[in-house]
Structure 1
């Protein structure tokens, strides 16, 4: 992808607009798990979408931080899916979502030295199976069990030890900075530029003054756009995607939000 490309998460509610080419984006992002089980007409529609937009992928169930064994059969299915639809990027979450079975939530990995070693080993195994780098997203979290490292230290050590790449979710940084009381600008500045492949922004819900929830169900706040602007200034422009999972506004409103990303990118061109 070109550094100044913009994207939108492909959801069922947006499929008709994607088929018509009405989304003002360069790429669309999907979860392989939502497509791999299907055959026939549904995959035919995805092939038509791929004629209009470049596709990237953002998985939901790899569970890279889990103690459960890696699901090598699933990873091989992902690899085959990526090849079939010419998807160059496979990203996931720096979290876990299974323990003796799926938990259906993205849970935080403890910020410990042992966890760095455990996660990094699993990342290297996944990258070997995929035959390409794994790109991991910094996640929102609401509790930090027995931390030995800061969130930033943990992420940087995992990136370095595993030689994987980073999906920088600016909204997650902003939400975490409120919930865990740190400076989001210092956090962004501390990340390694060379690891950032692309990024996310999204809306969130402000439950209380000191509790924000990453929902992907609202418009992006101005503070998040300002933090994205700062991230480009620190690390250069990178492909950036707007996430929206529910409470969908009109397509015009979504396109306007995408346009705001483009304006910020052009400011750093």
Structure 2
């Protein structure tokens, strides 16, 4: 009889421990760490009742114990620490509790890997990003604007980086293999660089304005399909009979000089020099 009474009382108490006649969003855990009557209950307009266990730490405990910042025990609270504390404990600096802190440059730079995302260090973003090439090419450094020497010194890694695009030509001309790569497709190359690397750059967009110079820099290019339709100057057309007979030299006859024609017997006897044929060696 006593056992039945005890069971009845326990049942009544458990029924009164949490709200009655409610529709729960999910099942109560089988072994809760706290009693349901101490939980936070709330009713959603459409979804019925829900519940959430109380945090294991109070706001005061979280504030008084910085080592708990960033843990599940304190994430639900909105509080912040003074900048001095954030600096003295670098682990805290990138966290929400230090989001409003304005950090000095030397602290940001010396802790670049951890502080590159910190709001209080964004004014020193470039200074942090150049501390490490892998950091410079990472997403947190996407908006950093880099100096020319850093971009060119690390051209292969930085050629795709937004913060180095204003130095694209300088980077691409650091290496001929880089110059012919896709990231350098829009680079505008200087004439001397194009001519010095004519064979490899004959198709490069950044050298097309110097196409005649490239074609006349190498005989193999001059007779290739890459130079078809390019008009060659008389000075180049008279260098050999092979060149003089190219379609590229048809328009050069009006500019060719007697000296250019007569210095080579075979060239002089081509159609290119027909106006001077009476002077050509037989």
Common topology (TM > 0.5): no
Who wins on radius of gyration, i.e. which is larger? 2
TM-score by length of structure 1 reads 0.21
Q: Greater relative contact order: 1 or 2 (C-alpha under 8 angstroms, separation 6 or more)?
A: 1
Quick check: which one's strand share is greater?
1
